[in-house]
Chain A
Amino acid sequence: MTEIITAPTALGSPPPDDVLLEVRDLRTYFHVLDGTVPAVDGVSYSLKRGKSLGIVGESGSGKSVSALTMMRLLDIPPAEIVSGEIWFDGREILSLPMDKFRAVRGNDMAMIFQEPLTSLNPVFTIGDQIAEQVERHKKVSRKAAWDRAIESLQLVGIPSPERRVKQYPHEMSGGMRQRVMIAMALSCEPKLLIADEPTTALDVTIQAQILELLKTIQDRTDSALLLITHDLGVVAEMVDNVIVMYAGQVVEQGSVDEVLVNPRAPYTMGLLESIPTVDKRGGRLSAIKGTVPNPFNMPPACRFEPRCPYAWNLCHETTPDLYKAGSGGQLARCHLHTAAGAARLPAAVEDHERKMNVGEGIA
Chain B
Amino acid sequence: MEGQHPTMESSTAPALPDDAAVGPIIVEGSESLAEMDPLRIARVGEGHTLLQVRGLKKHFPIIGGLLKRQIGTVYAVDGVDFDVNAGETFSLVGESGCGKTTLGRSVLRLIEPTAGTITFAGRDITKISHDELRPLRRKMQIIFQDPFGSLNPRMPVSDIIGEGLFAQGMKDRKARDKKVEDSLELVGLRREYTRRYPHEFSGGQRQRIGIARALALGPDIVVCDEPVSALDVSIQSQVLNLLLDLRRDLNLTYIFISHNLSVVQYFSDRVGVMYLGKIAELGSVEQLYKDPRHPYTVALLSAIPDPNPRRRKKRLVLKGDVPSPAAPPKGCRFHTRCWLREKLGNPERCVTEEPQLRDFGGGHQTACHYAEQISAESVSAAVETQSALETAVADAE
Interface residues of A (CB under 8 A from B): 30-34, 37, 39, 58-60, 65, 75, 77-79, 155-160, 173-176, 179, 203-209, 211-213, 215-216, 230-237, 256-257, 260-261, 270-278, 280-281, 284-292, 294-296, 363
Contacts and interface: CB of A to CB of B under 8 A. Distances in A.
15 contacts: A59-B232, A157-B389, A159-B392, A160-B397, A207-B305, A209-B391, A231-B305, A233-B304, A257-B309, A277-B306, A288-B21, A288-B234, A289-B238, A290-B21, A291-B202
B308 interface: yes
A203 B259 contact: yes
B261 interface: yes
A274 B236 contact: yes
B308 A205 contact: no
A232 B3 CA distance: 37
Closest 7 CB pairs of A and B: A233-B305, A276-B266, A289-B21, A274-B237, A60-B11, A212-B388, A157-B389
B262 A275 contact: yes
A203 B96 contact: yes
Tell which of B20, B391, B396 has the most Cβ of chain A within 10 Å.
B391
A203 B317 CA distance: 12
A242 to B, nearest CB: 10
Contacts of B10: 59-60
Given A78-B6, A155-B389, A288-B237, 20 more contacts: A32-B12, A37-B11, A59-B10, A79-B7, A157-B388, A157-B389, A173-B321, A203-B259, A213-B389, A233-B305, A236-B308, A274-B233, A275-B262, A278-B289, A284-B244, A285-B241, A287-B235, A291-B17, A291-B235, A363-B244
B8 interface: yes
B8 A208 contact: no
Interface in B298-354: 299-300, 302-310, 312, 315, 317-318, 321-322
B68 interface: no
Contact of B237 (A34, A39, A235, A285): A285
Nearest to A64: B8
A342 B395 CA distance: 58
A158 B390 CA distance: 8
B310 A32 contact: no
Nearest to A209: B391
B132 to A, nearest CB: 37
A58 B233 contact: yes
B265 interface: yes
Tell which of A206, A213, A216 has the most Cβ of chain B within 10 Å.
A206
B22 interface: yes
Interface in B347-386: none
Given A230-B233, A291-B15, A176 B392 contact: yes
A272 B391 CA distance: 31
Given A232-B307, A295-B11, A209 B317 contact: yes
Contacts of A288: 21, 234, 237-238
B250 interface: no
Contact of B7 (A75, A204, A291): A75
A289 B18 contact: yes
A45 B7 CA distance: 25
A207 B303 contact: yes
Given A157-B388, A237-B306, A287 B237 contact: yes
Contacts of A236: 305-309, 312
